[in-house]
Amino acid sequence: MIVRSAVPVPASHLDIARDAEPATIAANAAMTARLPFTDVADFEAAQQGLIAPVPDGVVCAANGTVLWNLGEYAFVEGELAPATVNPSLWRIARLNLANGLFKVTDRLYQLRGFDIANMTVIEGDSGLILIDPLTTAEVARAALELYFAHRPKKPVMAVIYTHSHVDHYGGARGVVNEADVKAGKVAVIAPNGFMEAVSGENVLAGLPMIRRAQFQFGSLLPRGPRGQVDAGLGKGVARGTPGLIAPTQTIAKSVEEHTIDGVKIVFQLAPETEAPAEMHMFYPQLGVLNMAENACPLLHNFIPLRGAVARDPRIWAKYISDAIELYGPDTEILIGQHHWPVWERAKVIDYLEAQRDLYKHIHDQTLRYMNKGWRPAEIAEAIDLPSGLAERWSARGYYGTVSHNVKAVYQRYLSWYDGNPCNLHALPPAPAAAKFVEYMGGAAAVITRARADFARGEFRWVAQVMKEVVYAEPANAAARALCADALEQMGYQAESATWRNAFLYGAQELRHGVFQMPARATMGADTLAGLSTDVFFDLMAVRLDAAKAAGQSTVINWHFTDRVEKLTLTLKHCTLTHRMGAWSGSAAASITTTRSTLDAVVLRKIAAADALRSGDLKVEGDASRLASLFGMLEQPAGFMFDVLTPGEGRPTSLRDA
């Protein structure tokens, strides 16, 4: 890994993390006094049914590269949290170290602690049903090997994806062979809209999501009491090779029952909840309800910090309520695709009712304040969880928070705009910061005042005001250092793993600059191949460099023989549009090829010129139009763009703005 800084950072500021300030120590002590730390039931549940831990706590690639290492978290031990970690977060960090192969009940096992998610194994009459094969092939393969070390080795009959996030499908190639899927030996089952959701969340806005996820998960932070301790849903996301095997069967009805290798499964679709495409499952023969990722023992995100379309907590609560009504009377065990199970029917119902009310309460109270004219930040300060929820460990904000979930509800209904016209056309951050700092008497005066506020423990304000100085003067080392110190203390106080990671990673970048990652493909071949041709051309359109397209117009027909698809692509007004199923008689060029060939060109596995020479790509008409089109498309420069400073190419003065 190469390290660079967006601006020069003096060596004196490349220091180690600071210790907890008195205000942080006091805030964390107050948390200890407020919550029921004597309740250890979750620790017993997290270990119940353990057969064997992850071997050595490590998963390696074939070449020996370490992809997953629980040993990095050996420091997370003992009930007493260090001063630099919120005690509630320390508790979930300890719980999330539970790992290995677990027996949940007869015929149903879970592999936990190999990745941020769980892989569930159901033993059918002749083979296995695997649910959510983790993020990468290597960890999924290692998890299944641990299962086979303790249970009979049977063939995989089906793989089920509960929803459209990569930690629940990316490791499929580690547990099944795609040839067996194509031959009909293995079914791959997913909820309706799965492939469209994968495309929407991971493709069109994939690059900024990758960058923002570094802050959410703290993947580039050192592990330790002053660094990353957890990710909320688990320790973190495993490395390795993610892939995608497209579903062979889609669950389309709201409730649908199938028998797979002798196991009855009742599928309940729950779209637009934690993922755009998601589903729950009930296994009546086993008395087990699987809520996928919609009822984890924490407060989830209505919008994750990495970014996503705002989720609907109202309908989320409704689907939990429906599950209680439909399956509660016959459920003895609740499982999810993260964390540990809940046993006993009464406890399951109580747990689900609390989850239902958690999401509905935040939604309803946010709308109540919205109807009074309150703004997002004001509502976020006003709302807290009521008694009965606030003291429940399963409602704590380790992943989502009440604060940023409130803002997500506001965005879903009223957009980013808070209604104040002063905010409708405000200056961009850098030129606005320059004016603010000038008004406040210059950077030195602001820093002097902020240091006094830091000493008083006003870390939120110090970070807010130092952000302005850093944007006004990115090379101001004192401002960067003070902003980093403030973010660090906020991280030490944060109960949410994602907030802690974001604050601490922000501090790290201010001190050390932006890590420049080695060049790598940002989209795998499986993901690209899984895109519909409609979405593929949407992706092409968002990569069009409008300046290079200025003054040009053209129409190109495309015929993909492997998918029996035709479309007409139009370039006009510096914009690409396309119509599926259309064919223009006046097109400048008509191209016949396969989607697999076009995918290979986009992935730079072959050059367009070579595809033309080989005949894999044929052009009737003006062949130069194809080269011209590809020449207008912007190749992603990477995702390690500046976040804490203005960065290159963005408005930095009033003239630019």
Q: Is the residue at 16 inside a domain?
A: no
135 and 224 housed in the same domain:
yes
CA-CA distance, 308 to 302, in Å (whole number)? 9
Which pLDDT band holds residue 521 (cuts at 50, 70, 90)?
low
Give the pLDDT score at 634.
85
Q: Helix, strand, coil proportions of the chain in percent (round to 5)? A: 40, 15, 40
Q: Is the residue at 403 inside a domain?
A: no
Which pLDDT band holds residue 16 (cuts at 50, 70, 90)?
low
Select from 498, 516, 534 the last residue of a domain.
516
Q: Is the residue at 122 inside a domain?
A: yes
Q: What CATH number corresponds to the domain at position 591?
A: 3.30.1050.10
* 3-state secondary structure string across 586-648: CCCEEEEECHHHHHHHHCCCCCHHHHHHHCCCEEEECCHHHHHHHHHECCCCCCCCCCCCCCC
- For 130-183, the pLDDT digits (tens) are 999 999 999 999 999 999 999 999 999 999 999 999 999 999 999 999 999 999
510 and 598 housed in the same domain:
no
Q: Which of 68, 59, 67 is nearest to 144 (CA)?
A: 59
Stretch 340-351: mean pLDDT: 98
CA-CA distance, 31 to 396, in Å (whole number)? 12
Q: Is the residue at 543 inside a domain?
A: yes
Sorted by sequence, the CB contacts under 8 Å of residue 628 that are 6+ apart come out as: 552, 554
Check: pTM over 0.85? Answer yes or no. Answer: yes
182 and 313 housed in the same domain:
yes
Select from 499, 516, 533 the last residue of a domain.
516
Q: Is the residue at 311 inside a domain?
A: yes
Strands (E), 153-254: 156-160, 187-191, 249-251
Q: Is the residue at 217 inside a domain?
A: yes
Q: What is the DSSP letter of 283?
A: E
296 and 360 housed in the same domain:
yes
Give the pLDDT score at 73.
97
In the chain, how many domains are there?
A: 3
Domain region containing 575: 525-632
Q: Classify residue 19 as exposed, middle or buried by CB count within 10 Å of its CB (0-12, 13-18, 19+).
A: middle
- For 451-499, the pLDDT digits (tens) are 999 999 999 999 999 999 999 999 999 999 999 999 999 999 999 999 9
Q: Which of 341, 339, 398 is nearest to 117 (CA)?
A: 339
Give the pLDDT score at 649.
66
Residue with tokens 């300046």: 547
Give the pLDDT score at 1.
28
**Residue 64 to residues 37, 138, 144, 364, Cα–Cα distance (Å):** 40, 12, 19, 51
107 and 218 housed in the same domain:
yes
Which pLDDT band holds residue 530 (cuts at 50, 70, 90)?
confident
367 and 446 housed in the same domain:
no
Give the pLDDT score at 207.
82
Q: What is the DSSP letter of 221?
A: S
Q: What CATH number corresponds to the domain at position 434?
A: 1.25.40.880
- For 280-297, the pLDDT digits (tens) are 999 999 999 999 999 999
379 and 467 housed in the same domain:
no
Q: Tell me what the pLDDT averaged over the chain comes to.
A: 93
Reported as type and span, the H/E element at residue 50 is strand 50-52
209 and 314 housed in the same domain:
yes
CA-CA distance, 318 to 358, in Å (whole number)? 12
CA-CA distance, 339 to 48, in Å (whole number)? 12
Amino acid at site 74: A
CA 429 from chain centre, in angstroms, equals: 26
Sign of CA dihedral 24, 26, 32, 35: negative
- Tell me how crowded residue 394 is: count the other CB atoms within 10 A of its CB: 19
Q: What CATH number corresponds to the domain at position 213?
A: 3.60.15.30
547 and 498 housed in the same domain:
no
Select from 372, 395, 418 the last residue of a domain.
395
- For 193-247, the pLDDT digits (tens) are 999 998 876 677 888 888 899 999 999 999 999 999 999 999 999 999 999 999 9
Among 301-315, 470-484, 622-636, name the one with the lowest average pLDDT. 622-636
512 and 573 housed in the same domain:
no
Q: Is the residue at 423 inside a domain?
A: no
Give the pLDDT score at 654.
58
Sorted by sequence, the CB contacts under 8 Å of residue 366 that are 6+ apart come out as: 379, 383, 406, 409, 410
151 and 128 housed in the same domain:
yes
Stretch 306-311: mean pLDDT: 92
236 and 292 housed in the same domain:
yes
Q: Is the residue at 640 inside a domain?
A: no
Residue with tokens 């499964």: 265
